[in-house]
Structure 1
Amino acid sequence: MTLTGQDPALLRRLNSAAVLRALYDADEMTLTELVKATSISRATVEDVIAGVTDLVEEILPKLGDARPVGRPAKRYRFRAEAGRIVGLDVGPHKVLAMTTDLKGRILDTRRSAVSPSAPPAERVATARAVVRRSLRHLGVPVENVRALGVASTGVVDPVAGKVVVSDRLPGWAGLDLAGALEGLSAGPVLVGNDTNLAALAEHWRGVAQNVDDVLCILVGRSIAAGLLIGGRLHYGRNGAAGEIGVMRAFGWYTAFDRFLAYADDGPQDGGGSAERVFGAVRQGDPEAIAVVRAFARDLAKGVGAAVLTMDPELVVLGGGMSGAGELLAEPLREELAEICLFPVRVEASTLGSESVALGAVRLALDHVQRELFEV
């Protein structure tokens, strides 16, 4: 797109963004292909490349390659290794860090257990240590991290990076999480709600790819919802969209107790209760089947209200129970059929326990791409 105007700096930025975007989307391109893809003159494309050598590399012929007839075409690639992205899931029971290149390819995953009763300082210290271990393992200095995405339970102010409301972690409400994690990235620390970011991950690499209206439910010892409308996260005025579980009438607060009662486990159970129940369902145990059906009924009260409100194309079951697959998806589907006006797809997540951290990566990657490609 050849442009003219009174602002040469803007023109250079537009041309640079077009060239970088084209190379980012391809494995490699010749100079001729770049000219065609961007509609920018050959000389201008070469000038752009000369100015972004930190991000673009010429691919030289390898020793032993067959020599083409005539002058070989210049070939370039985007240097995804020129920076790193980190996604961090700071949860009640674990901290999970995922480090990727600038194309979102996962290079390292690190996790550390943490107690739900841990004070904020201990949880933050664990988070910082997990990120530093990942970077150290990859030999990456903090200066190479272009953005850090962080997922947290509770209502989050995504602009200020603060946790506004949280009833799951002691002392977590009011925490400046972005400030607490400062210094782990040369770029910004971006904070989001864990369920919202799980929805973002499902849309990026999960079962919600190519689906723009999605209700994502994280199902485990607690239950929460995230909304994706028109392909974008819907936060609401206060960042509290999807916080359906606060309505006690829906029964989400006590739903998991059914699994604890069946397995005769205490409230500190590490998640084995649900695994034992679903294992018994696979064996045809009628009591376990009744427990799952009752749980699906509790779950459907809040999910049905959200479905009737936003009319999504897809409901994604994520979180700790996503591994149950159809054992939970099918009874929920049947319960929703009794409540909702129209059938709605219900699919179990294939991303498992890493969906939240992957969504945090996507949050940070979106920021970096805006810096690279938007004017």
Structure 2
Amino acid sequence: MTTAGGDSSLLRRLNQVAVLRALYEAEELTLTELVQATTVTRATVENALTALVELEWVTEQAPATDGPRQVGRPAKRYRFRSESGCVLGLDIGVHKALAVVADLRGTVLATRRTAVGPDHSPAERVAAARGLGHRTLRAAGLRAADVQAVGVATTGVVSAAGTVTVSGRLPDWAGTDLVAAFTEPFGAPVAVGNDCSLAALGEHWRGVATGHQDVIYIHAGHRIAAGILLGGGLHAGRNGAAGEIGVLRSSGWHTAPGRLLEHWGSPEALFSAARDGDPHAEQDLCDFTADLAQGVAAMVLTIDPELVVIGGGLSRAGESLLAPLRDHLSHLCLFPVEMAASALGDEAAALGGVRLALDVVERALFEVSGDS
């Protein structure tokens, strides 16, 4: 949408935004309900609706035919056209890329994944993610032209401009400009974030962190890493490196996953043995959670969060991991720590990418000046 100059055009835009926002936040509304929601005149709402229908952001709903028959003409009902476009969320990791396509209300339309490896070059990793994005769009019956925004989650430290600046697990990945890599193929704005940060955002949007404002997300798997939400929003820090406690070898995060997987091969094997009472498994689990707790405690004491979410492959152990971790934290922290296992599993970061993309769309929809 475009706003022309002058007070009258600004006022029209303000009214359109008010009507569009009311419809975006509701399933559907009548003209009378829109007047009440926007507190402007009926004629003003009608004019705004006419413009929004022409722009294909809003449509009039046909009257329901399965309910009781009404006397007189039914009230016109309008809704936001969530199908007028879509967003794409991508999670580009060391071993996999995952794509999620959602409509403009965030309803997931298709999810696809593909394997990548640590030996892939940056160009090969980007190409795999691009191809995956296009395949996921086709699975949803959509095209690149339908994409309104792309949200990309990736391993490593990401600058505000969307470039990977540090990547301990993929050293060649540093320097990759992900905004440039995905803007042209999908013809839409691109927003980028660290995968743990976007996993925290995903859990806040659709997972166990819904309703919590200050959240720490801990990825516990082949690596241990963290993401932070403050006031319900991402906290990346000045350089995008907030939560990178794993670089401190004294935290125990650097070597703990490797020792665990070297002994047991997989998290499932460890937790199965621990549940069966294997003393070696119980001791290894205790050692691992003790190492994990050191970094978690440092973050908890710094941020004092409402919730700590444990994600990554080890989160599938549930209370087998959470119970000993709580016990360690009870001796390290000043107050009890609320903890929960991830509800979104390995899709958390891609769904965080979807939410990040939706934020871009919403800013464009509801801005009052400039193009949208």
Please confirm whether the aligned pair reaches a TM-score higher than 0.5, indicating the same fold: yes
- Whether contact under 8 Å (2:134, 2:143) holds in the other structure is no
- Using the TM superposition, give the Cα deviation of residue 161 of structure 1 relative to its aligned residue in structure 2, in angstroms: 1.3
List gaps (5 residues or longer) in structure 1. Answer: 1-5, 266-272
1:218-297 aligned at under 5 Å gives the runs: 218-263=219-264, 265=265, 273-297=266-290
- Name 1:169's counterpart in structure 2: 170
1:335 and 1:329 mapped to 2: Cα distance? 10
1:207 and 1:319 mapped to 2: Cα distance? 14
- Using the TM superposition, give the Cα deviation of residue 93 of structure 1 relative to its aligned residue in structure 2, in angstroms: 0.5
2:301 to 295, 308, 320: 308
- Using the TM superposition, give the Cα deviation of residue 22 of structure 1 relative to its aligned residue in structure 2, in angstroms: 1.1
1:253 and 1:281 mapped to 2: Cα distance? 23
2:352 and 2:65 mapped to 1: Cα distance? 41
What letter corresponds to residue 28 of structure 2 in structure 1? E
Post-superposition CA distance 1:161-204 (Å, at most 9, x none): 11011111141001111111222333201111101101111111
- Name 1:32's counterpart in structure 2: 32
Post-superposition CA distance 1:205-239 (Å, at most 9, x none): 11111111111111111111111111111111111
1:197 and 1:147 mapped to 2: Cα distance? 15
- Using the TM superposition, give the Cα deviation of residue 69 of structure 1 relative to its aligned residue in structure 2, in angstroms: 1.3
Aligned-residue Cα RMSD (Å) equals 1.4
- Whether contact under 8 Å (1:157, 1:239) holds in the other structure is yes
The number of residue pairs the alignment matches comes to 361
2:284 and 2:199 mapped to 1: Cα distance? 26
What letter corresponds to residue 109 of structure 2 in structure 1? L
1:50 and 1:186 mapped to 2: Cα distance? 28
1:30-109 aligned at under 5 Å gives the runs: 30-53=30-53, 54-61=56-63, 66-109=68-111
- Name 1:141's counterpart in structure 2: 143
- Using the TM superposition, give the Cα deviation of residue 62 of structure 1 relative to its aligned residue in structure 2, in angstroms: 5.1
Once the two structures are aligned, what percentage of the paired residues are identical? 58
- Name 1:14's counterpart in structure 2: 14
Post-superposition CA distance 1:83-138 (Å, at most 9, x none): 00100000001000000000000000000001122111111110011001011222
2:187 and 2:119 mapped to 1: Cα distance? 31
- Name 2:189's counterpart in structure 1: 188
What letter corresponds to residue 194 of structure 1 in structure 2? D
1:326-341 aligned at under 5 Å gives the runs: 326-341=319-334
- Whether contact under 8 Å (1:120, 1:170) holds in the other structure is no
1:125-140 aligned at under 5 Å gives the runs: 125-140=127-142
2:320 and 2:303 mapped to 1: Cα distance? 25
2:241 and 2:194 mapped to 1: Cα distance? 9
- Name 2:199's counterpart in structure 1: 198
* Farther off after superposition, 146-155 or 132-141: 132-141
What letter corresponds to residue 275 of structure 2 in structure 1? R
Post-superposition CA distance 1:259-283 (Å, at most 9, x none): 22332x4xxxxxxx11110111222
What letter corresponds to residue 278 of structure 2 in structure 1? D
- Name 1:268's counterpart in structure 2: none
Scaled by the length of structure 2, the TM-score of the pair is: 0.94
What letter corresponds to residue 255 of structure 1 in structure 2? A
Give yes or no for the alignment of 1:344 onto 2:346: no
1:64 and 1:257 mapped to 2: Cα distance? 60
Secondary structure, counterpart of 1:171 in structure 2? helix
Compared CA separation, residues 38 and 333, structure 1 to 2 (3 A) = same
* Farther off after superposition, 106-115 or 321-330: 321-330
- Whether contact under 8 Å (1:118, 1:170) holds in the other structure is no
2:291 and 2:343 mapped to 1: Cα distance? 23
- Whether contact under 8 Å (2:309, 2:341) holds in the other structure is yes
- Name 2:3's counterpart in structure 1: none
1:199 and 1:64 mapped to 2: Cα distance? 42
Secondary structure, counterpart of 2:188 in structure 1? coil
1:137 and 1:25 mapped to 2: Cα distance? 27
* Farther off after superposition, 308-317 or 279-288: 279-288
- Name 2:351's counterpart in structure 1: 358
2:261 and 2:233 mapped to 1: Cα distance? 36
Scaled by the length of structure 1, the TM-score of the pair is: 0.93
What letter corresponds to residue 364 of structure 1 in structure 2? A
